[in-house]
Amino acid sequence: MRATYILVLLTGLLSGRGNDVSAADAKADYRVGERLTQPAPGVSSPTSYKETSWDMLVPEDWNPLRAFKGLDLGKLKDSDPRAIEALDRMREMWSSAPVQTSLNGARIRIAGFIIPLERQRNEIREFLLVPYFGACIHVPPPPANQIIYVIPSKPLKDAQTMDAFWVSGTLELAYADSPPWGASGYRMKADIVVPYTKH
C-alpha cells in the first residue's frame, strides 16, 4: 500500500535526524591496545608542527624492562621472589617515568585517544591524550611520559572518551609544586585538534 510505504519513509526521515551524538559512530572500531598509525617522524608537514610519535616522548636511556635483564624466566621456579621483585621494580619505574626534557617548548603534532577531564555543556575543555585505545578502561594505563594533558584553544564539540584525534600545539613540561620536585609529565596548549585520519 502506497500509504504504508510513505509512513515508513517518514519515520525513517524523522528518527534518523534525532541523534546528533551518532556523529561519534565515526569513531572507528579500535581494538583494545591498538595504536594509531602515524607517518615516520621527521616527515615534513605543511604546517610548522613536527610529526611526533609517542616513542619520542620517552628518554632513550629509560627502559623499565631493565629489571628483567639477566633474568631467565624459564630457569626460575614458580612464584620465585626474584620474578615478583622484578615485576614490582618494573611497575615502580612505570609509575615514575621521566620526561624528555629537550621537548620543552617543542611544537609537535601527535595522534592519540582522548580522555575528557573538563566538560561544559557538550564541549570538552580539557582532556588527556593517550597512545592506545582502551587506556584506563580495559588495559593498564600508560606511564606518565606517555600521557599528555591537553588544553585546546577551542573546546572540542561532540567528542567522547576514546575518540581519536590529531593534536598540534606547543608541548611543555609540567612541574610538580610539592615534593618530589621535578618534571612530572607533559602538558600542551593545543592550537589545532582534528579528528584522526591516516594523514
Partner 1 sequence: MPYLPVLAVKSAWNRRSTLSLILISVALSTMLLLGVDRARISARQSFSQTVSGTDLIVGARTSAIQLLLYSVFHLGEATNNVDWKSYQALASHPDVAWAIPISLGDSHQGFPVVGTTPDYFRFFRYGNKQPLAFAQGRQFGGIFEAVIGASVAKKLQYHLGDTIVLSHGTSGAGLLSHSDKPFTVVGILAETGTPVDRTVHVSLAAIEAIHLDWAGGAPIPGMSIPEQYVTKFDLTPKTITAALLGLKSRIAVFRVQRYINDFKAEPLMAALPGVALDQLWDVMSIAEQSLLFTSAMVVAASLAGLVAVLLAGLGERRRELAILRSVGAGPWQILLLILGESVFVTLTACITGLLALDVLTWISSPWIQSHYGLTLSGDPVSANELMLLAAILIAAAIASVLPALKAYRQTLADGLTPRI
Query: Where do contacts with partner 1 occur on this chain (CB under 8 A)?
Result: 2-3, 6-7, 9-11, 13-15, 17-21, 95, 115-122, 124-128, 135-137, 140-142, 144, 147-149, 160-161, 174, 176-180, 184-187
CB of 177 to partner 1, least distance (A): 7
CB of 77 to partner 1, least distance (A): 25
83 or 136, CB closer to partner 1? 136
| Alpha carbons 13 and 180: distance in angstroms, whole number | 59
CB of 70 to partner 1, least distance (A): 28
46 or 179, CB closer to partner 1? 179
CB of 173 to partner 1, least distance (A): 11
127 or 166, CB closer to partner 1? 127
DSSP tally for the chain: helices H, then strands E: 2, 7
DSSP H or E stretch at residue 109: strand 107-120
Q: If we measure between CA atoms, which residue out of 100, 109, 102 comes closest to residue 185? A: 100
| Partners of residue 109 on adjacent β-strands | 51, 168
- The one-character DSSP state at 139 is B
CB atoms within 10 A of CB 163: 22
